[in-house]
Structure 1
Amino acid sequence: MPERRLAEQLAKDVGRILDRLVDREEFAAEIERMGLHPGSVVNEVARDPAVLARAQVEYEPVNHLWDRMTAHRQARPKAWPADWQPTVEDVRLLYGAAITFFVAALLDLFVSDLLLSRLVEFAVLILTGAAIAMLLFGLPPSVRTWLRWAVDHVRLAAGLPTRWWEIQRELRDEVLIPELRGWLGGQANPQFSTMLRLRDASGLMIPAGQGPLVPTAAVRACVREINRGTSAAVGVAGSRGAGKTTIVDRAVRNEFTDPERARVLGVLTTAPVRYDARDFVLHVHASVCRAVLDELSSPDGPRRSDSRRHWTRRHRLYQLRSTAWTWLRGLIQCAAILVAAFCVIHLGWRRDGDAVMDPLARVVPFAESFEKQPREVISTAPLQGLALVALVFLAAVTVWIAVRSFAIPLFNGLTSAVSAFVDSRLKRKRTPAEAALCAVARQQLRRIRFLQTRTSGWSGKISGMGGIEPVPTRSTANAEQPLTYPEVVERLRDFLELVGDVLITTRLSAIVIAIDELDKIADPDEAHSFLNDIKGIFGVRHCVYLVSVSEDALTAFERRGMPARDAFDSAFTSMIRVDPFTLGESQRWLAYRAIGIPKPFIWLCHCLSGGLPRDLARVAIAVHDLGETHRSLGEFAQAVVSADITDKCHAYVHAARQLADQDDGIPAVIEFLIGMSNEIHERGHGDITWKTVSAGASPGGIRLRSEIDCYLTFCRPYSKSSPTMSASTSTARTPRTTGGQPSNFWPRSAA
């Protein structure tokens, strides 16, 4: 579709969807409260460049389908060549078609009323089909080419509205609803109310990795790396819960690809905590093979796992069995009803000396007389009237069973078959190079999974009674040995280069392979070894690797050149830092999910989560769950912090019990934690009586006590009334140690 026309159609669709959205209760009430006009809101949001950019990304599949239809229309062949001269065979076929049509017409006109009418109708159909075939083969080949083109064009035109409707629904749910929430939240005057009143809090239940993405500095850096057009190995570093997985997942799902570039082939894998480098590279190789097969079979569809593929095959089998059983059950039920109807007929119309089929001939005349004179017929033959009513009921039941067991499944099956056929025709046809790539991907996927063994040979025997049969007895067996690790790496690099050579510039713009969870490897030495082992797969043309690593890796990369070079410095071309949300980014994240959250609640959510999106999502769920019963800021803060302190008390008690045999002061810590949990359950954390507890002497006890001190110092500002603390407690905001013992931060008196 031309860019200007696409922009006009996109703006029209965005405006139409926004017109319907502003009438929803969630948005209409907020617009009325703010004193805005719905039309002005629609115009402002529809003209927002960020909204139009995201909408354009959502509309890319429709644009591709429109471009395919335009290219197909431009490739329209000539239906009739101007210089066509029929050959002798063409003339014979055309005459044969005309004669066949004439014979079929004569049969249909003059022989259709005879006893063999059904047979004649079948013959007419056969002759008509033969005449059409002879006509097509007798005409120029360009006519057949034009007919194939016309059928394909109709299928493309029929699939465009369906795809357009699906994209409009995704545009509404994924782009316009969050953007409208965010725009209204930004236009509203800052609310400093300490009362929480949300009209619609369902958006707060959206997980952290789903929904609109806040455009942070890390997201913009990842967008630049994906669209740079060169091979790269990029480390994505940050603390746990900062959103590394979300960024790499969105990257492989083509959400960071520039609309002017072709889509990318995305592969997402997870680094094992306990790894074997050879097995992991084989896993990456298999994942790339499956992604290539999915791309060439369904470019716009989701990537399917092995479980999903197996489920699809088994689902088709069981669906076929279920349909067959439904038909068989319907046949059995219809047969039973026919038997019952036959019995009713014999009870009502059988006479002495009748044959078995004689009562059937009396049913129709009786029904005709009943239709004309029902009262007289019922008065003279009441038993037969009841039998006729029973037959009508059985006929209605038979029709209902036939519709339920045969008509509905047959209609659903035909609809699914037609839809699958249309979808298959709408798919872009593979070129010979792409078909060969599919075969290579399947072959390599089988080779990764199985060790192939081939055996060939001869056999012979010596028969008894002096008979000897000289048959060769030699045999040979060829077994393919497992590849060594360098060969595994070389095969993967070679396959990635092949995929790039075949698909880049025709279907794709790059191959993005994301390796997630590398920061979950606890031992830094193991993480270094793992990266050293797999970095041989980096540096392939058209390939961009995104690897989520820990903050230690970021530190080592940024210090490159100062100490000796390490694995992180030599493996990565660049590093992306994923920082926690700022207060403004947390506010925007919440504004995408709910309208009308007051500023104090946003500040509280940001402080409780520390700006980590994962923890911010948990606090948002707490806002959703507790917002109905704890509307004031103080009640909500107490409820959230009390629940968190209770959970932490249980965790610290479990950790302290493991140190009870090593430290005499641990039982007092356990007693304090249990007492605190009980008081929170009874009175809330703002009314706790804090007690002094002596510190433990072992290193584990000192560390545990320091953790508890720091956590309670963090939670204390959220109390309804801060406890009175001693001088040593109030002046120390961070743990200090004196002689190996932590300073006493525990409150001494009651609140």
Structure 2
Amino acid sequence: MTGERSDPHSIGEEDLEDFDSWTAQAALASLIDETLGSPAVTQLLARESLRTEVVREELFANETLLAKIRTLQDQVMAEGDRGFRPRNRAMSPREASWLVVAVLLGFAYLSLMTAAWAQLPLFFRIFAGLMMPCVLFATGALAVRKVTALREWTNPDAMQFHEEQFGLGPRRSFAAREIVLPEVRDVISAHRRLHFGTTLVFDQQHDLGEEDSSRIVPTAAAKRLRRVLERAGSGAVALGGQRGSGKTTAIRSIQRGLLHGSENPAPLVVVASAPATYDARDFVLHLHKLLCQAVLVRVRQVVGPGTGWRWWARRVLRGTVDLVVSATLGWAIGGLLWTGKFTHFPAELWQTVTGVQFPELIGPLWTDQPVSNRIALAAVAVLALRWVAKLLTATVGALVILLRRKSSAGPRALQAEARRQLLRIQYLLTYTTGWSGKLAVPAGGELGRTRTTQRAEQQLTHPEVVDEFRAFAQLTAESLREEGITDRVVVAIDELDKIGEQDKAQQLVNDIKGIFGVPGCLYFVAVSDDAVLSFEQRGLAVRDAFDSAFSEVVRLESFTLDESRLWIAQRLPGVPEQFCYLGHCLSGGLPRDLRRTTIDMVDVTTEHYEPSLSTVTSILVCTDLAAKSSGFIAQARGLPQTPELAELWPKLLRVPDTREAVELAELAASLHEGATPDLADAVNRLRLHSSAFVLFCATVLDMFTDALTQSRLTPSLHELAIARRRLALDPHLAWAALNDFRKAHDLPLPSRA
């Protein structure tokens, strides 16, 4: 078993010959056992009815996973103590209060036993002696349970070897969380329990309408982004891909820390959307403003809210009001229940309490008092204990705040600088200085002179704005790293691909690329497919703004068939595979369209109870036909009236009213009649687009029927998704691909009736 590799007694002579490899294998085995034993993974294994041994053996046979562990061991050895060390989490006032409470409980018990020991009978002395370890253990357990730092110290990572022998050092938790755990989830997903059937049923939908879901499909692009974030300290990376491929989702995942790919805290992420009509200077100022706001939020999370005199005054005022209310409430309850006069209750209570002598407490305060006095004493005691706890918490909290202020001087200096920069960006400051004088003369006249000087800070030019941003970004990155808050700043510019004209997009990149290259800052920019193409042509005699601005490009592709199936299965547990295939084919694997198609699929269940595959397919296809036919008709209206267009008009009008697969195939053939590969002719382009789309719908209706059994769910259905993608690129190629698909699956080729 793999667990034996982490056993020190299992080392043989053959292992000593290549001790580094054996150490990597032992570290991997220990990490696998630790990850598989976690509650979350255990729950996943139970849900999929998957044995732990199967996952363990497959993980240990993964050479790529072993290579990652060896690489991490080499990095730990090379870094030594020079690596980034996260800032220690400050103990909160609540945790410090629980620690003080635990200590006081133990001290109170020992003091009580010391004071009462001489008067205790032998039996109670033995009992008190036996209880002493239990009390000390209970107070220690209370402190460990309530204070995170103590819990982490007393419960280190489970391992048979010391960290130095595994070679992972302080990065062990990172290896378990960011290297082994994703692979465990991938294996579980690959072995997940599949459901088959032609009736749309599922357990419960999860995060279907939320774009910011934590359920990320491990695509090749996601893994590459993780590697980029792990290795790149600075630079500019272009995110390419067609519209709807998930560039915005990737940026949001980076912002939420789901892809930062490091054991360090998530980076400070600033996200800005590129404007359709832009001014480069204003856009850089906008980025500067967003960076200042992000710094203020992150520093506030680390050092806590401000504690100026206004904050202390509010706390004192709230405490005073609370004290007055508690005293009034105690007087009201006690005075009404006390046997004496209502107005004499405070004085009589004071005499009763001060007259008690330790250790005789129960008699004077309880057994010797009437029932009404007991209730009054109990109510006052509860209020008094509450206030003792509040005073203790307030005192400890004040000490923690004072100590924390001393250790957070650096972050607070950065916070002050961010406020100053933000104020400078938002307002144009005007300073006015001057003097005036008046002299009275004997004849009754007056002589006066006034002089005023105004100094208005002039607007910064674009180069000056860029320099100011670079200086503040570098200061932010250095300060956050020195303070152990995070090791980098990420600036993401989204929606640059939505600028319609390529020249304008290139001009924007040219104007703002001066902010790139700041040490400790990594930039991500969502660009169009044309920009990616120009980047890929950098080896040729082609060089443009994108090639000179970006050091790397990450292209987000459409989902594969397995990735689409996993995406739907994560959000609709228990859904039959037939519907996963349907969603993939209708969307072409494009993530945005896959979400929309899945939502439409779920909406069908609100009107039809457990609808069949044929019903769902018919409703989705008819909805798509109606939407696209409106677009075709609108496009035809904008074309000059020609005989070719007049012939095409009645065929286009038939599209939304055609429902059957056979009729759609015949209509597709009719629309395609006379078409040529020439896409320059608008009427011919409309003919190609409409005929290919109608044939695609007919093919989907032919394939996804109630007769689609498990044996017919083959990877060849992915060709339908490829044909859907080609509809947006080259409808002539899509038509040819659909004909090949129909021929391969024994479907009748389109022909006019």
Superposition TM-score tier, normalisation by shorter sequence: 0.5 to 0.7
For 1:621 and 1:423, the matched residues in 2 are separated by 49
Q: Does 1:264 align with 2:267?
A: yes
Q: Secondary structure at the match of 1:242?
A: coil
Q: Shift in Å at residue 718 of structure 1?
A: 1.1
For 2:28 and 2:529, the matched residues in 1 are separated by 43
For 1:746 and 1:300, the matched residues in 2 are separated by 69
Q: Shift in Å at residue 207 of structure 1?
A: 3.6
Q: Secondary structure at the match of 2:583?
A: helix
Q: Shift in Å at residue 289 of structure 1?
A: 1.5
For 1:412 and 1:702, the matched residues in 2 are separated by 81
Q: Does 1:535 align with 2:513?
A: yes
Aligned to 1:68: 88
Among 705, 713, 717, which residue is 2:699 paired with?
717
Aligned to 1:290: 293
Among 422, 432, 443, which residue is 1:445 paired with?
422
For 1:412 and 1:589, the matched residues in 2 are separated by 50
Deviations 1:504-555 (A, max 9, x none): 3542322211111110100111111111111111122222111110010011
Q: Secondary structure at the match of 1:203?
A: coil
For 1:327 and 1:68, the matched residues in 2 are separated by 36
Aligned length: 576
Aligned to 1:706: 688
Q: Report % sequence identity.
A: 34
Contact 1:265 1:510 (C-alpha < 8 Å) held by counterparts: yes
Aligned to 2:615: 635
Aligned to 1:458: 435
Contact 2:87 2:483 (C-alpha < 8 Å) held by counterparts: no
Deviations 1:637-670 (A, max 9, x none): 2232222222323444444455587865675356
Q: Structure 1 522/426 Cα, relative in aligned 2: closer, same or farther at 3 Å?
A: same
Contact 1:182 1:588 (C-alpha < 8 Å) held by counterparts: no
Aligned to 1:644: 624
Aligned to 1:671: 653
Taking structure 1 as the reference length, the TM-score comes to 0.58
For 1:625 and 1:269, the matched residues in 2 are separated by 33
Contact 2:440 2:447 (C-alpha < 8 Å) held by counterparts: no
Aligned to 1:186: 190
Show the 5 A alignment for 1:722-741. none
For 1:413 and 1:8, the matched residues in 2 are separated by 51
Question: What runs of 5+ residues in structure 1 fail to find an aligned partner?
Answer: 1-5, 55-63, 73-153, 165-172, 302-308, 310-319, 331-340, 342-356, 359-391, 393-398, 723-731, 738-744
For 1:160 and 1:201, the matched residues in 2 are separated by 38
Q: Secondary structure at the match of 2:554?
A: strand
Over the aligned positions, Cα root-mean-square deviation in angstroms equals 6.4
Q: Structure 1 418/40 Cα, relative in aligned 2: closer, same or farther at 3 Å?
A: farther
Q: Secondary structure at the match of 2:491?
A: strand
For 2:420 and 2:550, the matched residues in 1 are separated by 32
Q: Structure 1 21/190 Cα, relative in aligned 2: closer, same or farther at 3 Å?
A: closer
Q: Structure 1 21/499 Cα, relative in aligned 2: closer, same or farther at 3 Å?
A: closer
Q: Shift in Å at residue 470 of structure 1?
A: 5.4
Q: Does 1:219 align with 2:205?
A: no
Q: Structure 1 695/196 Cα, relative in aligned 2: closer, same or farther at 3 Å?
A: closer
For 1:568 and 1:275, the matched residues in 2 are separated by 18
Q: Shift in Å at residue 483 of structure 1?
A: 0.5
Deviations 1:59-87 (A, max 9, x none): xxxxx999837999xxxxxxxxxxxxxxx
Show the 5 A alignment for 1:109-188. 158=147, 160=149, 183-188=187-192
Aligned to 2:457: 480
For 2:404 and 2:475, the matched residues in 1 are separated by 26
Rg larger for: 1
Deviations 1:45-66 (A, max 9, x none): 9999999999xxxxxxxxx999
Aligned to 1:255: 258
For 2:398 and 2:31, the matched residues in 1 are separated by 28
For 1:648 and 1:328, the matched residues in 2 are separated by 71
Contact 1:232 1:543 (C-alpha < 8 Å) held by counterparts: yes
For 2:59 and 2:194, the matched residues in 1 are separated by 24
1:242 counterpart letter in structure 2: S
Deviations 1:267-315 (A, max 9, x none): 11111111111110001111111222222221499xxxxxxx9xxxxxx
Q: Shift in Å at residue 15 of structure 1?
A: 6.0
Aligned to 2:479: 502
Q: Secondary structure at the match of 1:239?
A: coil
Q: Does 1:228 align with 2:225?
A: no
Contact 2:201 2:610 (C-alpha < 8 Å) held by counterparts: no
Aligned to 1:116: none
Contact 2:692 2:732 (C-alpha < 8 Å) held by counterparts: no
Name the stretch that deviates more: 204-213 or 512-521. 204-213
Q: Shift in Å at residue 203 of structure 1?
A: 2.6
Among 421, 429, 436, which residue is 2:413 paired with?
436
For 1:190 and 1:423, the matched residues in 2 are separated by 54
Show the 5 A alignment for 1:264-663. 264-299=267-302, 429-432=407-410, 434-461=411-438, 466-467=443-444, 472-507=449-484, 508-626=486-604, 629=609, 631-658=611-638
For 1:703 and 1:224, the matched residues in 2 are separated by 42
Contact 1:185 1:595 (C-alpha < 8 Å) held by counterparts: no
Q: Structure 1 567/623 Cα, relative in aligned 2: closer, same or farther at 3 Å?
A: same
Taking structure 2 as the reference length, the TM-score comes to 0.58
1:203 counterpart letter in structure 2: H
